[in-house]
Structure 1
Amino acid sequence: MAEPEHECPFCGIKSTEAFVIEVHVEDEHAEGSTTHSSLQDAGLAEQLSNQHAYEDPPVPTSDDDAQWTKCTRPGCGEYVLIQDIDEHLGVHASMEDSDDAGKTQSSPASKSTAARQAKVKASQTARPNDRKKKSGPTLLEFFSGNSYHGRHPPPQRTKEALPLGRLGRRELGPHAFEKQMPEHVRRRLQNDAQPHQVNKLDRNGKLRAETIVDNETAGLIPHLATLCAKDEDVLVTYLCHPSTKHINKLRCDGNFCGYWNIQMVLSFLQATGALPDLRQMPNILQIQDTIEQAWSNGILSHGRRETGGIRGTRKWIGTSEATAYFTQIGISVEASAFEDQEHELGAVALLDHVEAYFLSGTEKAESSGTSHITQLAPIYFQRLGHSMTIVGLQRNKDGSRELLLFDPSFETSGAMQTLLAGKRSRAQLENLLKPYRRSDQSLARWEEFEIVVPRGGA
């Protein structure tokens, strides 16, 4: 029997956890909430009211198009799959807890997370072949130019309203038919990730100039290695090259997660000399230009037909566009897809593959306790509705496994920034690590995954 869903009376967000909705209402819809007042700042209300002027006329859509909602956490605004909202809000809660040393492990958010994981574990007792089998094309079919690149084809009644091969909102997001993004979004993408200098105190108390980009965080990998080694439940942790940066989204209307993940992989390629001519990180608009150029050069060119073109829009991208981009700039990549089979979950196959990948790099790894920092590249990681960057894998003493991810949806927490500054943090280990961990139980909710691994120059 399905569990009853609780719904926010103000914005319609749903959850099987009543507590999640209660906290959501208190945080986002209380009188004087910044969620309501922020729309008055900087003329955003007027900008939002004019947003539809930049989009194509609406087309018939299927019920599947309404499977995601917009997170109303202040400063977030991410479009999140309904089935993923509990986990998304849980990461928000853990980051807030890590920035508040007074919180304890018995906090309601932690209880909610534990309950959610127990339900996922229970769902895994069903045989994989009892799960609904998807009928979409494989990644190999996509790379031959004959598929929707791992994204399900539109339902039949939507197909009739769209040109042959054209994807809709289910695959490309709420702005799937946008002709041009609003100017205020374009300006943020152009200006808000520019390098600039700040003065910082070094460990000797002296001021020094440092060039930073506001949405980039360097140096996280060694700290994750140290933290994982302190966790008594962890058997072994493998991590990618320490130069890989966490790059989070800019505060503008649009997810753009695929682009942020391309940038994270670029941070590795840039630091390791694979792209000697890349001196500054390309912004999203420049990445879009390169993908369009790849299509014009015949590289996975069916992507243009399926998306209707992405230049200057907020359409979602995936492994197809990431592969086209890296190929265009001279980086060879290896793409793989994992999906539920009769006797194995796609999540298990994914974890096996990623673990084998990191094991291949242990010979040159820098080890400290149970953690091993390899020289391997991070992995572009895609599942339905969202992409992240795999930076490691953790095997626990009870046999369970967790991916270590850089999620562009979330900024680096204040507690982690404290550690990066060389100071001590009073935050709990669990809350420090939770934004980067995705357990095998949580991954089992998804039927299909895709990854793209850079292998150096073409």
Structure 2
Amino acid sequence: MAEIQCPFCDICSTEPFVIQAHIEEDHAESPTTSNVDAAQAKHFSQLTPPQRAAHPAAEDEEQWTKCTRPRCGEYVLLSDIDEHLEMHASLDISETALSIDHARSPKESKSTAARQAKVKESQKSRPDPHKRKTGRTLLEYFSGVSHHGRPPPQQTRPAAAALPLGRLGKRELGPHAFEKQMPDNVRLHLLTDALPHQINRLDGNGKLAPETVVDNETSGIIPMLARLCTEDEDVDTTYLCHARVKHVNKLRCDGNFCGYWNVQMMLSYLQAAGALPGMRQTPNVLQIQDTIEQAWSNDILPHGRRETGVIRGTRKWIGTSEAAAYFTQLGVSVEACAFEDSEHELAAVALLDHIEAYFISGLENADQRGTSHVTQLAPIYFQRLGHSMTIVGLQRNRDGSRELLVFDTSFETSAAMRALLSGKRSRAQLEIILKPYRRSDQSLARWEEFEIVVPRSAGVA
């Protein structure tokens, strides 16, 4: 086996684990990056999205704060805290008649306002889907790469470029980037707080019936979103993923594990689609870590191990590279794409084009419910700096604006949504109920790059 050189010094070894241990022990406190030659980069990087590229000078550029709201404890970018707290507020008032103030935050920068204006301007040049006869012609218009393999535009590329690699730090892996082992109490929460158990619930006939539930999972939200979006007079068309995708929210323990919860949401689709017949129970975070480590050992996107060090038993964050490695290890093919700002178009616009084209490609087998279309398509693993979510749909409004519909692991299903899912009425306004699931084109304009991973499997009815 060829020798592998430490990216930070001249130490060499033929054993990857020797170099890995050396990096963990000797370079943890000073995570700087040196460039590797093209041959090494090609060997270690088949999938290196832009946000996973090392940023040697940027370790202190992004600062985190721990949300002190009850039942939260999420580590949030300081630049993202206003939006995070606004989501908390919308959940807090989900059972009142209050409305949300959509005024721009006074902390919003001039550059962000300019980017939002650019998104608004792009709305004027986007076609109205209802003025076209078929989804095919609309797909041909959009610049995003559909899952049929159309060529990418300049700012949209497969997340596969060979970039200089090295050990990532807190900017990419979070506050626990150099952790050797998570605390025992966190490990215990991950092992025991999301186990299936039986409860008794009233069925449609008013009789108690046993039901198996997992406390941090919610089923049935996709059909409910279809109904609620149809009731919103400002919405023109809504596209949604497979109806059986579950919302998974975080467990109450110290550490952000959003990447793992999003993997679990992808798994809820794959299990419903029959793509994983041997998986009887959704794996927990520790089991997902084991599978990612196994993928790296099997030479599946092995550069991830070099970038993160060992993730087994730690609270290090994972991203699209680890998600892709995980699904590939399971035998599930994936498509990974990255979206970056270009001279002529923002990443947010390219992303929305791509997502809309993706869902339109599934209209043939979709279940139409008013203005909503529930497809058989997979949800999408969605990454931006500091956080990942699961895209479950896209909403086009009558004014031409667009909004992603997402499941965000940071927040539990609201009381209002739970009431509706149980067949009860809710006093909350429609916009309040939908707020936690919507990410507007204006809010997306704050970010300069995004990454997505889409698992590929035949849908089921």
* TM-score band w.r.t. shorter chain: 0.7 to 0.9
Distance in 1 of aligned mates of 2:369 and 2:68: 40
Match of 2:36 in 1: none
Residue of structure 2 in register with 1:86 after alignment: 82
Distance verdict in 2 for CA 1:66–1:349, change over 3 Å: closer
Shift of 1:84: 1.0
CA distance in 2: counterparts of 1:201 and 1:219, whole angstroms:
16
Residue 50 of structure 2 corresponds to none
Question: What's the offset of the Cα at 1:81?
Answer: 1.1
Q: Determine the C-alpha separation between the residues in 2 that align with 1:62 and 1:343.
A: 26
Aligned counterparts, 1:308-323, within 5 A: 308-323=309-324
Query: What is the aligned length?
Result: 374
Corresponding residue number in structure 1 for 2:98: 104
Which secondary structure does the structure 1 equivalent of 2:344 belong to? coil
The amino acid that maps onto 2:98 is T
Give unpaired runs (5+ residues) of structure 2: 1-26, 32-56, 121-154
Normalising by structure 2, report the TM-score: 0.77
Specify which structure has the higher proportion of helix: 1
CA 1:337–1:453 in structure 2 vs 1: closer, same or farther (change >3 Å)? same
Confirm or deny: 8 A CA contact 1:141 1:147 kept in the other structure: no
Cα separation, 1, equivalents of 2:297 and 2:316? 19
Write the distance in 2 (CA, Å) between the matches of 1:127 and 1:91: 22
In structure 2, what is the equivalent of residue 434 of structure 1?
A: 435
Query: What is the distance in 2 between the residues matched to 1:346 and 1:425?
Result: 37
Please tell me the residue identity of whatever aligns with 1:147: L
2:59 and 2:171 in contact (8 A); partners too:
no
How far, CA to CA, are the matches of 2:416 and 2:313 in structure 1? 36
Q: Secondary structure at the match of 1:258?
A: helix
2-structure distance, mates of 1:351, 1:411:
25
The C-alpha deviation readout for 1:31-76, integer Å capped at 9, x for no partner, is xxxxxxxxxxxxxxxxxxxxxxxxx974479563552211111110
> 2: distance between equivalents of 1:65 and 1:258?
22
Q: Distance in 2 between matches of 1:432 and 1:118?
A: 28
Identity %: 70
* 1-structure distance, mates of 2:249, 2:359: 24
Match of 2:45 in 1: none
1:200 Cα shift?
1.1
**Partner Cα distance (1:358, 1:142) in 2:** 20
Q: Work out whether 1:147 is the aligned partner of 2:163.
A: yes
Q: Does 1:399 align with 2:400?
A: yes
Question: Which residue of the partner structure matches residue 306 of structure 1?
Answer: 307
Letter in 1 for 2:82: D
Q: Secondary structure at the match of 1:324?
A: helix
Residue matched to 2:168: 167
TM-aligned CA deviation for residue 147 of structure 1: 3.2
**What letter is aligned with 1:200?**
R
Q: What is the Cα deviation at residue 127 of structure 1?
A: 9.8
Per the alignment, do residues 59 and 443 of structure 1 end up closer, same or farther by CA in structure 2, a change over 3 Å counting? Answer: same
3-state SS in 2 of match to 1:325:
helix
Q: Deviations over 1:218-263 (max 9, x none)?
A: 0000000000001110000000000100000000001100000000
Change in Cα spacing, 1:127 to 1:440, as seen in structure 2 (3 Å) is closer
Moved more, 109-118 or 278-287: 109-118
1:14 equivalent in structure 2 = none
Partner AA of 1:124 in structure 2: Q
Q: Which residue of 2 aligns with 1:72?
A: 68
Deviation at 1:371, TM superposition (A): 0.4
Question: 1:249·1:409 contact (CA, 8 Å) conserved in 2?
Answer: yes
Conserved? CA contact 1:391–1:404, under 8 Å: yes
Contact 1:65 1:169 in 2 (8 A): no
Partner Cα distance (2:106, 2:231) in 1: 25
Displacement of 1:417 in angstroms is: 0.4
Mapping of 1:202-221 within 5 angstroms? Answer: 202-221=203-222
Q: Distance in 2 between the 1:350 and 1:139 partners? A: 8
Question: For 2:390, what is the secondary structure of its paired residue?
Answer: strand
Tell me, yes or no, if structure 1 residue 270 matches structure 2 residue 271.
Answer: yes
Between the aligned partners of 2:444 and 2:410, the Cα distance in structure 1 is 17
Q: CA deviation at 1:203?
A: 3.1
For residue 237 of structure 1, give the secondary structure of its aligned residue in structure 2.
strand
Helix, strand or coil: the match of 1:124?
helix
One-letter amino acid matched to 1:443: L
Shift of 1:114: 7.7
> How far apart are 1:171 and its partner, in Å?
0.6
2:267 & 2:245 partners in 1: Cα distance? 8
SS of 1:143's equivalent? coil
TM-score when scaled to structure 1?
0.77
Whole-Å separation in 2 of the counterparts to 1:361 and 1:127: 26
SS at match of 2:259: helix
Q: CA deviation at 1:204?
A: 2.4
Query: Residues of 1 paired with 2:275 and 2:430: CA distance?
Result: 35
CA distance in 2, matches of 1:181, 1:201: 40
Partner of 2:446: 445
Cα 1:260/1:417, change in 2 over 3 Å: same
Deviations 1:403-424 (A, max 9, x none): 0000000000011000010111
- The question of whether the paired residues in 2 share the 8 Å contact of 1:127 and 1:343 is answered with no
The C-alpha deviation readout for 1:70-123, integer Å capped at 9, x for no partner, is: 111111011111111111111110111113x2x422xxx525568789975554
3-state SS, counterpart of residue 241 of structure 1: coil
Residues in 2 aligned to 1:58 and 1:141: alpha-carbon distance in whole angstroms: 33
Tell me, what secondary structure is at the counterpart of 1:388?
A: strand
Say whether the 8 Å CA contact 1:331–1:454 is kept in structure 2. yes
